[in-house]
Amino acid sequence: MADKKPILELLEICKGYPGVIANNRVNLEIKPGQIHALLGENGAGKSTLVKIIYGVQRCDTGKIKWKGSEISQITPQIARKLGIGMVFQHFSLFDAMTVEENIALGIPATLANENLKQNIIDISEKYGLPLDPYRYVHTLSVGERQRIEVVRCLIQNPKLLIMDEPTSVLTPQEVDKLFKTLRRLSAQGVAILYISHKLQEIIDLCHVATIMRAGEVVDTCIPSEESPRSMAEMMMGTNLIVTKKNERLVSEKPYFSVINLNHQATMEHGTDLKNITIKAHKGEILGIAGIAGNGQIELMEVLSGEITASDDSLVSIDQVSVGNLGPRKRREKGLGFVPEERLGHGAVPEMLLWENAFLSGYQSMKLMLNGFMNVTKSREYAEKIISRFNVKTPNVNVTANSLSGGNLQKFIFGREILQDPKVLIVFQPTWGVDAGSAAYIRQSLMDIADRGAVVVVISQDLEELFEISDKISVICEGELTKPEIVENITVENVGLLMSGIKPSGNDILGTQL
């Protein structure tokens, strides 16, 4: 690969926003057949850089060369004609349109023909990313939406494929299959620019890595010669927090319980919940693994109270029935929760950070004064979240949608944890979050369990679940398996169960409580 000329060259790329330099004199070159990792913490400038490559944004100064020739202006349409495909971390999809219609919008007219439905099905099956062309996007989970972006990209047979967190929705077996495909594309001369916060993936897959920090390229390395920790510390410029799992005193009786709960999905193409039973103890972290679209959204809605149970006794906190209570009343009983979707669900995008802090904390943090918002206390609360959880933001008076994904996630987590909940339910806690932020969030979950809280983590990241959980269950097609102690199970077995396959000769996680 060393003797090949670069297919893409970036020369002295600069891009600034009011008060922020996103990219500062960035140089990067990618060669045909090279799987090139782009690493950095949230807010390091990676997303801005790849948006410049794809033509979504224009650089202020600098040059872009494609196959040795300078491109004076690049747009997404020009990028696609050149052979550049991109899978965005934050999806560019229309909720009111079908999978097929969304894919058709982002590909050349020659591909958006009568064969498109079958092409979607064929590509989906080939890459292990099941998609129904007829489904409407508003009925899909975050993970399923990401599959649309991946499939839309692969249909175009790109010469340069930009992939941002492509494996966050896959089981270990599916990751292996995708990696085989990416290696085959690489062998055929396709260049791949790969962004992931899963550093072991980078080691396993990528030929070279470029590391960014604060908008600048600070290092390059050969991933196979590094460790996840060493690369994380290159990204951070400091030592990585090592999560510490302590021995905890677990309550004898379950503190948070769900007993034989059935729930019919309210969304079209949703997943019905069948005989769900959860018995979670104080001082315990229960992990729930599963592929997107297997009932996680419905489970989160029922656990948080966004959808109430058919019978009050089906859900209880400290042996008090709460099944018929909504989110606000459950918060009064000590429940906290962090949803999957940060913007629009976890936080209101256009509202200021202190206003978002007020929304969930006004009761427990006493942020009301004589029936009115106490602005001073609300700002102080938001400032405390920013300080304690190392949220990178100018101040509390910026909108939630101005933060990077990782920093917004830390803010939402901090908002919940500082309320000292007795039960904390989190959905995809570190999806799309850099290594440093992920380590901080995971340690925060273990710390709150150390203090005696019940923690339920719904996640597709098996590495995460095995790192922090005391017990793990698997949700598949709306059914939840019996929880097993982490030391008694394997990643491979859990991965198979996520796919609906029971490991032969092994009953682990195979039956309901």
Residue 424, pLDDT > 60, answer yes
Element (H, E) at 172: helix 172-187
Residue 449 has φ and ψ, to the nearest 5°, of -70, -40
Residue 270, pLDDT > 90, answer no
* pLDDT of the residue at 456: 97
Residue 2, pLDDT > 80, answer no
* One-letter identity of residue 473: S
The answer to whether 389 and 429 are in contact (CB under 8 A) is no
Domains 8-236 and 241-334+421-513 share a fold: yes
| Residue with token string 């029971």 | 502
% residues pLDDT > 70 (the chain): 95
d(CA 180, CA 159): 17
Rg (CA), the chain: 23
| Residue with token string 């203090």 | 451
Q: What is the DSSP string of 245-265?
A: -------SS-SEEEEEEEE--
Smallest Cα–Cα separation from 276: which of 253, 295, 255? Answer: 295
The answer to whether 65 and 222 are in contact (CB under 8 A) is no
The CATH class of the 8-236 domain is: alpha beta
* pLDDT of the residue at 3: 59
The answer to whether 400 and 348 are in contact (CB under 8 A) is yes
d(CA 350, CA 403): 11
> Domain-by-domain residue ranges, the chain?
8-236, 241-334+421-513, 344-420
Query: Lowest mean pLDDT: which of 1-15, 48-62, 249-263, 440-454?
Result: 1-15
Instruction: Specify the 3-state DSSP secondary structure of 322.
Output: coil
d(CA 173, CA 102): 28
DSSP state of 136: B
The answer to whether 409 and 392 are in contact (CB under 8 A) is no
d(CA 155, CA 153): 6
Mean pLDDT score across all residues of the chain: 88
Residue 511, pLDDT > 50, answer no
Query: Lowest mean pLDDT: which of 80-84, 380-384, 506-510?
Result: 506-510
The answer to whether 497 and 481 are in contact (CB under 8 A) is yes
CATH architecture of 241-334+421-513: 3-Layer(aba) Sandwich (3.40)
* pLDDT of the residue at 445: 93
* pLDDT of the residue at 411: 93
Residue 156, pLDDT > 50, answer yes
Residue 505, pLDDT > 70, answer no
Instruction: Write the CB contacts of 211 (distance below 8 Å, at least 6 apart in sequence).
Output: 39, 40, 217, 218, 219, 220, 221, 231, 234, 235
Burial class, 65, CB count within 10 angstroms (exposed 0-12 / middle 13-18 / buried 19+): middle
Strands 315-317 and 320-321 turn out to be antiparallel
What is the pLDDT averaged over residues 268-288? Answer: 92
% residues pLDDT > 90 (the chain): 58
Percentages of the chain per state (helix, strand, coil), in multiples of 5: 35, 25, 40
Q: What is the pLDDT of residues 483-492, one digit of tens each?
A: 999 999 988 8
Per-residue pLDDT band for 507 (boundaries 50, 70, 90) equals: very low
* One-letter identity of residue 442: R
| Residue with token string 């919008």 | 105
Per-residue pLDDT band for 292 (boundaries 50, 70, 90) equals: confident
Q: What is the pLDDT of residues 48-84, one digit of tens each?
A: 999 999 999 999 999 999 999 999 889 988 998 899 9
Q: What is the pLDDT of residues 297-342, one digit of tens each?
A: 999 999 999 999 989 999 999 999 999 999 999 999 999 999 988 8
Structure tokens given for 47:
């997303």
d(CA 192, CA 182): 8
The Cβ of residue 440 has, within 10 Å, a number of other Cβ atoms equal to: 21
N-terminal to C-terminal alpha carbon distance within the chain:
54
* pLDDT of the residue at 125: 85
Instruction: Specify the 3-state DSSP secondary structure of 6.
Output: coil
Instruction: Write the CB contacts of 379 (distance below 8 Å, at least 6 apart in sequence).
Output: 354, 396
Burial class, 387, CB count within 10 angstroms (exposed 0-12 / middle 13-18 / buried 19+): exposed
Q: What is the pLDDT of residues 180-207, one digit of tens each?
A: 888 988 998 999 999 988 899 999 999 9
d(CA 500, CA 454): 28
